[in-house]
Amino acid sequence: MPASLPSSWASKGWSQCLLCGTGQEPTLKLELVDTMQLYHSPEVAKPFTFCRWDMGVTASFESAAFPGWLLCMMPEAYQPLRLT
């Protein structure tokens, strides 16, 4: 199995990052965060981290905080990201 690449998703100004919940259930939301704090603290960064798995021409993004939960997009335009 190929190695995963850790990644975070941030807004244009790097002031908000995609968070995959901090409770019992995974929930996606944008949260204001100091991105340098994420860089220096792996435990704080975990809910903001997604492991990228490349598979040919496609890629999957798995939540580091909730292993087994993947980001997905709907085929229709203007739909939010979801977890499956």
Q: Kindly indicate the confidence band of residue 23, based on its pLDDT and cuts at 50, 70 and 90.
A: confident
Q: Kindly indicate the confidence band of residue 15, based on its pLDDT and cuts at 50, 70 and 90.
A: confident
Other CB atoms within 10 Å distance of the CB of residue 70: 16
- Residue 10 in this model has a pLDDT that exceeds 80: yes
Q: How many angstroms separate the CA atoms of 53 and 19, rounded?
A: 19
Topology of 5-83 in CATH?
A: Trefoil (Acidic Fibroblast Growth Factor, subunit A) (2.80.10)
Maximum separation of any 2 CA atoms in the chain, in Å: 38
Q: How many angstroms separate the CA atoms of 49 and 38, rounded?
A: 9
Q: Which helix (H) or strand (E) element contains residue 20?
A: strand 16-20
Q: Which helix (H) or strand (E) element contains residue 53?
A: strand 50-55
Q: What is the pTM of this model?
A: 0.83
Query: Strand pairing partners for 28?
Result: 20
pLDDT tens digit sequence for 25-57: 899 999 999 888 888 888 889 999 999 998 888
